[in-house]
Amino acid sequence: MTSGVAGSFPAGLGSMPLKPVPLGFVFRSRAKDEKAPTADKAQVNLSKQPRDPQAPKGRPTPKRSEAQSQRRSVAHTPTNRKEAAKRQREDRRQALNRQRQALATGDERYLPARDKGPVRKFARNWVDSRFNVAEFFLPLAVVILVLSVVRVPAIQSIALLLWLVVIVLIVLDAAFSGFRLKKRLAERFPDDNTRGAVAYALMRSLQMRRLRLPKPQVKRGERP
């Protein structure tokens, strides 16, 4: 045993050769050691960061405006039957208002299904651009009814004759108009379905011009 200042050491320890210690291990920069675990922690934190629940899986996070609109839609979702019924009534009222405005302005987006499409629009414009005997039926019917009430045989005979004349004129005008409109539709829309367009136009011709819906968009004599 060899005794020293620092204490006792096993025998032979002093005679063992000492291996040189690399200076780089002793004096190497601590900055590199500190950066490495920091970068690893940052990657772990990024990987563990919770994904936006509103973002679809495998897609980027939506913009703030999109996220806000989605939150509003979720907030306005009815939670019970009473709120759902109230929401349906409100949606129906708004749809009717839009439809009423479309009937006045001719906006194709909110027109009823029977009035939508270029074929129906052309049929409406074709009827509105000309005079139709059927549109004067109501005024003539009022005049004929007044004449038939008068207790004068000659006037009642005239009223009956007027009835026959008006009905014959309406039938002839409807047949002629339907034939011409069918021909125009075949020329204008050869590849489209024009079924029901002629009947739609003839029913419109029975109404007075100012009472027609959708409102006329062309003037009389104007070519559609």
Low-confidence spans in the chain with pLDDT less than 50? 1-10, 12-15, 21, 23-29, 31-49, 55
2-3 and 8-9: which strand pairing? antiparallel
The secondary structure of 153-170 as a DSSP string is: HHHHHHHHHHHHHHHHHH
pTM: 0.61
User: Residues near 105 by Cβ (< 8 Å), separated by ≥ 6?
Assistant: 215
In angstroms, rounded to a whole number, what is the distance separating the alpha carbons of residues 78 and 63? Answer: 25
Cross-strand partners of 17: none
Q: Using an 8 Å Cβ cutoff, are 119 and 185 in contact?
A: yes
In angstroms, rounded to a whole number, what is the distance separating the alpha carbons of residues 9 and 138? Answer: 131
In angstroms, rounded to a whole number, what is the distance separating the alpha carbons of residues 143 and 136? Answer: 11
Instruction: For residue range 77-133, list pLDDT tens digits in order.
Output: 667 888 888 888 888 898 888 888 888 888 888 899 899 999 999 999 999 999 999
Q: Which two tokens stand for residue 12?
A: 């032979």
Residue 147: DSSP 8-state: H
What local confidence, expressed as pLDDT, does residue 86 receive? Answer: 85
Element (H, E) at 9: strand 8-9
Reduce the DSSP state of residue 207 to 3 states and report it: coil
Q: Using an 8 Å Cβ cutoff, are 127 and 215 in contact?
A: no
Handedness of CA 162, 168, 171, 172 (dihedral sign): negative
Residue ranges of alpha helices (H) inside 76-116 are 81-105
Q: Using an 8 Å Cβ cutoff, are 214 and 111 in contact?
A: yes
Q: Using an 8 Å Cβ cutoff, are 156 and 148 in contact?
A: yes
